[in-house]
Amino acid sequence: MKDKVALITGGGRGIGEAIARRFASEGARLFITSRTPKDLERVALETGANFDVCDVTQPKDVGALVRKIGPVDILVNNAGVADSAPFVRTDLETWRRVMDTNVTSAFLFCKALVPGMIQRRYGRIVNISSIAGKRGGPYITAYAASKHALLGFSSSLAMELKDSGILVNAICPGYVDTTMTRANAARVAKATGLTSKDIVTKFLGSVGQPKLLHPGHVAEVALALARSDCTHTGSAIDL
């Protein structure tokens, strides 16, 4: 990946941080973005990445960031939120926030970067979905809907761009050991009266996982899909 320019959204922690570190180890020229400056500064300092704060749901912010970066070879749409609540307590504001962050952001970045990739006849797009994008689950109607939508977006874009030198793939992790997963478990626990540990156990049982995945496992798959010798497109890889 030496000299390849990679942009990772949500790159300040969790899966995005793990991908940033793995890409950096392979020599990629990194740009990371999120809405949390403190996290970005820490990862940038440790990986040599360039960074900028960006609200990934806002077209003006995305456009300004892309103009600042210039041509991008690899785009990882990782930014996401995992709000959870019983459906009867899920309001429209929550629904829109989840959909905008998890799906619209990927649309905006692809909209801004795909034309340049087409012109150069090269691009790698990796969208971080979730096993919830295939199976769904209780208390995550908005989240699961957004991840289903991201898979539909990914497969359709892959088909459209299959002869342009651009590969589009998605990764569908199960439950990963991140602050987001633990915060999500805490919210469900509060709503149900169970403990966070009980909720994590239920999460794992629902997808047949013995334990939480390490973010580095997702990063390895992202690396494989982002390499120049990758030939897969339209995949939605379960982890």
Residues designated catalytic: 143
Euclidean distance between CA atoms 3 and 129, whole angstroms: 27
- Find residue 123's DSSP bridge partners: 166
Contacts of residue 164, Cβ cutoff 8 Å, sequence gap at least 6: 117, 118, 121, 123
Report the run of H or E that residue 5 belongs to, with start and end. strand 5-9
CA dist 159 to 48, 109, 147, 167, 182, Å?
Answer: 35, 18, 19, 9, 36
Euclidean distance between CA atoms 38 and 53, whole angstroms: 10
Half-sphere exposure of 207 (CA within 13 A, CB side): 24
CA dist 122 to 22, 43, 211, Å?
Answer: 21, 27, 37
